[in-house]
Structure 1
Amino acid sequence: MNLLIKRFTGVIGISVIAAIGSTTIEFIRGLGKLGIFFAEIIKSLLPLRFYWRIFLKQLMEIGYYSLPVIGLTAIFTGAALALQSYTGFVRMNAESAIASVVALSITRELGPVLAGLMLSGRVSASITAEIGSMKVTEQIDALYTLGANPIHYLVIPRVIAGLIALPCLVLVADIIGILGGYLVAIYKLDFSAHVYLTNTISFIKLTDITSGLIKAVVFGFIVTFIGCYFGFHSKGGAQGVGHSTTSAVAVSSILILVMNYITTGLLFSY
């Protein structure tokens, strides 16, 4: 009996080690593929043939058509933040700090992070599905046959559009988020409009806004780059495209949270 138990536990231990090893190898292989894809993009920049029509279309898709979801997310986040701050600060008789807390939290952290996560679900999935469909139907191979570089045609316009669009969306989210906190403070918490605006303007600094915009540039690259990567590596028909789309959203969301911590540490380390 003891011998059977030892053999059974030994088999379980080996299977667990094998699973951990295969997962680690797959993770390292994925990092290698990401690095190779990034190197292909850098290599394709010279000489660069820029497709302006595709770029402007992607700028509309990523930027303009994302305004409703970004605006709704920002205004309700600012409103909820004002309520949460009030219920906490009233215990310490620090209600006057609510305006400063809302402005600082929106511009430094919540604006860029929430905008990045919203675009991760909307834009990254859309890019992966579009390019993945082209991949499995061999349209990308047709581009090679016609002498067109798929990186120039499909990736670079989307990445550049993301780098430009997301900071603009974050700037809009900052304004709308602060407006949401203002509306709750004035019409629900009975704050003075003049005092609230004065506290907001006097406390917030240019570095608070620029730090959020720097994060937005990083997040814009992550969203578009990951979407293009999983689209180019889709396989297995419609089911494979669906799996790649799910993976793109998950990976881009995780990378946004990781890079948010790293950029925060770099920007506010001194």
Structure 2
Amino acid sequence: MIFYYFGEYLLLLKKVFKRPEKWRVYWKQILYEMNDIGVGSLGLILIISTFIGAVMTMQIAYQLDSGFIPNSVIGQINRDSNILELGPTISALVLMGKVGSSIASQIGSMRVTEQIDALEIMGINAAGYLILPKIIAGVVMIPVLVIVAIGCALVGGLVGGTLTDAVTPTEYVAGIQTAFKGYTVAVALVKAVVYGFIITSVPAYKGFFVRGGALEVGAAATKSVVIGCITILATDYLITALML
């Protein structure tokens, strides 16, 4: 059954990436989806990432409570943890719950109300028209959100460490600047691009093939989030094993 669903998913992607009838129409949809996925999720990412950075700083300081280890190490560990793992992966899991469920519900509702059938009868590539703008917007905007998440986590770590006296601002900034490797940012961006594709394509697939009514649409949205989160974690392991 897994191979059946995976093959169905690949066949859907084949339809999605067919040459669009009119790029002008697709471009308007892409801009709309970029605003919906990117700007619409910005506030959530800001809040979550800031608190994650603050909590990480306090936890690291608690574990390194020793006179033999300089406090600047706290900033260094927080930086690498957020760039390589917490920034991309936690943000992707949160966005899968917000964006993924919305995409699955939207497309699923169009399927059960026969709007997708109407598009296909008119000769429109429904898969491409409905899903391709979402995938492009996800691949473009998720990396932007991840960069924002990393920045907010580092700032949150500075604020949290200063308020709790776990580390001074000078020591924290020195730790962030120590032994920085730009390659870690490249790894984070690769993860973000892959996550953006998963967050948009998997829920779209579940919504596109839903059958039934409102209950089935809700079940499809739930399944898409679960499958998407598992896929993100598996992909995280593969990318980390290949690139680090």
Pairwise same-fold verdict (TM > 0.5): yes
* Residue-pair matches, total: 241
For 1:264 and 1:184, the matched residues in 2 are separated by 28
* Structure with greater Cα Rg: 1
The equivalent of 2:136 in structure 1 is 160
- CA distance in 1 between partners of 2:208 and 2:127 (Å): 10
Cα distance in 2 for partners of 1:138, 1:249 equals: 24
TM-superposed CA distance for 1:266, in Å, is 1.1
**Where does 1:1-270 land on structure 2 (aligned, <5 Å)?**
26-42=1-17, 44=18, 46=19, 49-50=22-23, 51-91=26-66, 93-94=68-69, 95-189=71-165, 191-268=167-244
TM-score using structure 2 length:
0.94
Q: Deviations over 1:178-217 (max 9, x none)?
A: 1111111222125332232122023322111121111000
Matched to 2:82, the amino acid is: I
Do 1:71 and 1:173's aligned partners in 2 also have CA atoms closer than 8 Å? yes
Structure 2 counterpart of 1:14: none
Greater relative contact order (Cα < 8 A, sep 6+): 2
Contact kept? 1:34, 1:229, Cα under 8 Å: yes
- CA distances 1:36-73 after superposition (whole Å, capped 9, x unpaired): 2223234x1x3564311111111011100101111111
Q: Distance in 1 between matches of 2:39 and 2:47?
A: 14
Report if aligned partners of 1:48, 1:152 keep a CA contact under 8 Å in 2.
no
Offset of 1:89 from its aligned partner?
0.7
Structure-2 change in CA distance of 1:236 and 1:47 (3 Å): closer
Letter in 2 for 1:53: K
Residues 84-133 of structure 1 deviation map (CA, whole Å, 9 limit, x = unaligned): 10111114732331000000000111000011001100011000100000
- Deviation digits for residues 199-242 of structure 1, max 9, x if unmatched? 20233221111211110000000000001101101111111101
Identity fraction in percent? 34
RMSD: 1.4
Name the TM-score, length of structure 1 as normaliser. Answer: 0.85
Higher mean alpha-carbon deviation, 57-66 vs 143-152, is at 143-152
Unmatched 5+ residue regions in structure 1?
A: 1-25
Alpha-carbon separation, structure 2, partners of 1:155 and 1:111: 26
